[in-house]
Structure 1
Amino acid sequence: MKWHKRAMLGVLFGVALPVLAEQESAETPQDYAYGSELRLAEASPWYRVDLPLNAYQQSAWPDLRDLRVFNRQGAAVPFSLTAQTSATVAAEPVPMRVFRLDSSTDVPANQQKGEGQESVLLRSRNGVEIRLAGEQVKNIGQSFLLTLTENQRQPLSVSQLQLIWDKPAENWQGKASLYFSSDLREWRPLSDGVPLMDISSGSDRLALDRLDVNLTLTPGEPRYLLLVFDAQPHPVQLTGVNALREHESQTQESIHLSATGYKISPTEAVWYWSSPQPLASLAITLEEDGVLPVEIAWRGAENDEWHPFARQVVYQLKDKSSRPISMPSQPVQAVKVTTLNAQLPASLPDISGIRESQTLIFNAQGRAPFTLAWGNKAAKNAALEIGMLIPQELRKERGLETFPWAQTQKQIALGGKARLHAHSLAERKSQLQTLLIWGVLILGVALLLWLALKLWREVQSGKGR
């Protein structure tokens, strides 16, 4: 029996010791399932990579921890992941004070001198007077004095003026001119004869109601605008004016990941992704016009239970459709849609998950070509903080958006699909340690059984004597 015991222990330790003694080795592209070669258009120490859809869909981890960039020698290079954003320019409306002016013919001093220059006097109800002469008074119609509101204490950079008027009874077209002054005496033109319109056809309405300005109004120095419409028999009724100031903001970019669906019953269907995704929202699109009340549930893995989270009316009516549905802040592997007092349409709706997109920035160490790789369940997060990849003083001089793009090429297979289920060295050691402990326990139980059997035989042998 001793040699059996020694043999079993030898086998256990012979299998376990090589793995227990194994050390972490440098990663290679073959440790990852898939990849894509990166094409560099120009020389730079850093490059940006717009991750392909497959990198999101085939990653073994929802947080993309299994992303790597390798150089020609097969060595991993430093990289960082940042949220992909785009600059959005929005026009913020700022109401202006509007004073209607009444016009009358004026006889200026230069006309008395025989120069014959026509002049018009514009008066507001609070006594403000404005004189316009020469080319400025031709075909003059409604006039309005525009100023900043009293609570506007900061300089205002205006890109456009938005005119607000009541909808006319009939289609209307006209022109307007805009003048600028700092003292109400000398007026300089900003826009001359700008076309405006308000036309309708059935339920459709088209309004051309803006004038380009590109001017900074300062409350500390009186600045005035004069809006003059051309004379018309049926002018529009101006009710307000907004100064539009543009401001730039960074908007988080998103990507749409299509899900594969199948029907369970006439009232239930499931859509799934190849790997769990940290979805921000869910977009459901009907193939044809219609309205569908549904209950939606999600699960984080294939064998998990379903978690109901929303009841929603999904619709598609001509050019209008239901908005994306916010998702819980957890990785989602599949969603189940159950209709409420209705049946699923013959063609299943299209469902796509919306998640925040990432930009990868890497330091081009070593020789090209570089390869973007993904898909390794055994991978640990190797992305650096952006401050560890690019010093702050350099980022101040040169923004991330100035780095050139590295273009991904056709996807290639590296280590293959098996890498999506690979185990890390620590996991393998833990599994073997567990196996070794169980082996020792089983061996110990077998030894005890053998001792008990031996003792029983000795007892039986003694009784026989």
Structure 2
Amino acid sequence: MKSFLCLFALLAAPWAQADYSTRVPLSLEGEGPWYRLEVPLALQMAASHADLRDLRVLNAEGEELAYAMTLGNAQPAERRQETAVKWFPLRGVADGQGAPAIRVQRSTSGTLVEVTPEQDGQGEQILRGWLLDASAFDQPLHRLQLDWSADAEGFQRFTIEASDDLQHWRRWEDGQIAHLSFADERIEQNEVALSGAKARYLRLLWQAPQQAPALLAARLVSIEQLPLAPALAWSAPLAPTSTRAGEYNWELPLSLPLQRVRVALPAGNVLAPVSLASRGAGKLEWRALASGLLYRLPQDGKEVLQDEIELYGAPVQQLRLRVDARGGGLGSEAPSLQVAVRATQVVFLARGSEPYSLAVGNNSVRSAALPLGTLVPGYEPKRLASLGRASAPEAVPSVVREAAAAAQSAADWKRIGLWAVLLAGVALLGGMAFSLLRKPAGSGNNP
């Protein structure tokens, strides 16, 4: 009897693993024993449940590993604006104290046209520094990028002063740039942090007795810190399941809490007012989701593109895009669509032999995820970034297409069933009404 049970277990093991419709290998980097994995959206679409309760991490022996799931951390974002600025030499005597005296000529807009040293006859003058004209860049100044002659090796230290009128100067932090070379190696440091305040002019004075190097370029950078945006996982482009003039439908394998959608716009000038609607599998009525304006237009010599619409986590399985024909439409080709959800991270504890794999697609299992604090004793959020990394293939398109086709077929049959029930009900009511109409008046009274 025991031998029979062992044989049965060996034969049943492959079938138990085959219960998961999708299984992909994982690649590992860094030191374990814990690894974190950003789950590609293609794998989430191949799962049987949107909350990934059927996800499992397996080792080479087919054993399930302990794991936890967490939403991806919000990513800090910033907007950088850069501009090249004009620079003018500042000359003075080598052993002079303070800043060189200068005469300036400005245009009516305040930009510098000419900067010349005042001749004081106290000795030979050398290049002491540079005056930068930032009057046309009305932004907070966060970075200064300098490029200078390669002849100046080593560290270059200088003071930074700011002014709005070239008369009154305020001291900022000192700066340092460097060109270092050894054998075939070269190290360059050409960026200096600034205070983040506004200023029309900057004065860079090299610390005596060193002469300032010859500048080749100077750029100022302004950095705007944007609100933290949640990390998103994007799908591959999805073709519509049905199209007609000005209307396109997509069917997802399962209902997903979408954060954004991205519509592929054709080349050339595009202006398309659109509306989005959704409905659940088997439902008859569409529910309005969002509206927006998609465009690809030229502006100031550049192309401006707006191809995304925010949905803020609305659960969607079937999606309909309607295009207002007054904007000219989206061309003759049906557009593809990409969808995005909050990124999901899986943290697992490695055990047993490699290769490890990720499995999804089992409708009958429950979640086996542990709390992150249980999986990693003494866990702190900042520790997550120090864990080893695992990666999975980005695309499993055949599985997703099959799942989407199955979902479309199931939804169609549900809708057919609903229509059949409605029509049967209408027919029954019609039959009852017809029967009442044919019944002779007073036939229900006994003589």
- TM-score range normalised by the length of the shorter chain: 0.5 to 0.7
Q: In structure 2, give the amino acid aligned to 1:380.
A: R
Matching residue of 1:17? none
| Cα pair 2:295 2:307 within 8 Å, conserved | no
**Distance (Å, rounded) in 1 between the aligned partners of 2:377 and 2:125:** 58
Matching residue of 1:268? 247
Displacement of 1:392 after TM fit? Answer: 1.8
Q: In structure 2, give the amino acid aligned to 1:334.
A: Q
Displacement of 1:380 after TM fit? Answer: 2.0
**Distance (Å, rounded) in 1 between the aligned partners of 2:174 and 2:125:** 10
Matching residue of 1:279? 258
Q: In structure 2, give the amino acid aligned to 1:78.
A: A
Structure 1 vs Structure 2 CA RMSD: 5.5
Paired residues, number: 319
Displacement of 1:362 after TM fit? Answer: 0.8
Matching residue of 1:252? 231
Q: In structure 2, give the amino acid aligned to 1:401.
A: A
| Cα pair 2:57 2:67 within 8 Å, conserved | yes
Q: In structure 2, give the amino acid aligned to 1:363.
A: L
1:291 aligns with one of 251, 265, 271: 271
Q: Does residue 306 of the first structure (1) align with residue 286 of the second (2)?
A: yes
| Cα pair 1:299 1:306 within 8 Å, conserved | yes
Matching residue of 2:429? none
1:138 aligns with one of 127, 130, 136: 127
Q: Does residue 59 of the first structure (1) align with residue 47 of the second (2)?
A: yes
Query: Is the partner of 1:286 in helix, strand or coil?
Result: coil
Matching residue of 1:381? 367
Displacement of 1:120 after TM fit? Answer: 7.1
Q: Alpha carbons of 1:406 and 1:134: their partners in 2 closer, same or farther (altered >3 Å)?
A: farther
Q: Does residue 361 of the first structure (1) align with residue 347 of the second (2)?
A: yes
**Distance (Å, rounded) in 1 between the aligned partners of 2:124 and 2:78:** 36
**Distance (Å, rounded) in 2 between the aligned partners of 1:140 and 1:40:** 52
For structure 1, the residue ranges without an aligned partner over 5 or more in a row are 1-25, 94-102, 107-115, 125-130, 145-157, 164-172, 194-209, 218-224, 232-237, 422-465
Q: Alpha carbons of 1:389 and 1:248: their partners in 2 closer, same or farther (altered >3 Å)?
A: farther
Query: Is the partner of 2:314 in helix, strand or coil?
Result: coil
**Distance (Å, rounded) in 2 between the aligned partners of 1:38 and 1:216:** 45
Displacement of 1:248 after TM fit? Answer: 13
Query: Is the partner of 1:399 in helix, strand or coil?
Result: helix
Q: In structure 2, give the amino acid aligned to 1:312.
A: G
**Distance (Å, rounded) in 1 between the aligned partners of 2:17 and 2:125:** 74
Query: Is the partner of 2:240 in helix, strand or coil?
Result: strand
Matching residue of 1:75? 63
Query: Is the partner of 1:54 in helix, strand or coil?
Result: helix
Displacement of 1:180 after TM fit? Answer: 2.5
Displacement of 1:280 after TM fit? Answer: 0.3
For structure 2, the residue ranges without an aligned partner over 5 or more in a row are 1-12, 82-89, 103-119, 134-140, 150-155, 162-169, 180-188, 197-201, 213-217, 408-447
**Distance (Å, rounded) in 1 between the aligned partners of 2:192 and 2:29:** 40
| Cα pair 1:159 1:245 within 8 Å, conserved | no
1:340 aligns with one of 316, 320, 324: 324
Q: Does residue 227 of the first structure (1) align with residue 213 of the second (2)?
A: no
Q: Percent identity?
A: 23
Q: In structure 2, give the amino acid aligned to 1:138.
A: L
Matching residue of 1:161? 144
Q: Based on CA coordinates, which of the two structures has the bigger radius of gyration?
A: 1
**Distance (Å, rounded) in 2 between the aligned partners of 1:246 and 1:344:** 34
Displacement of 1:370 after TM fit? Answer: 2.9
Matching residue of 1:110? none
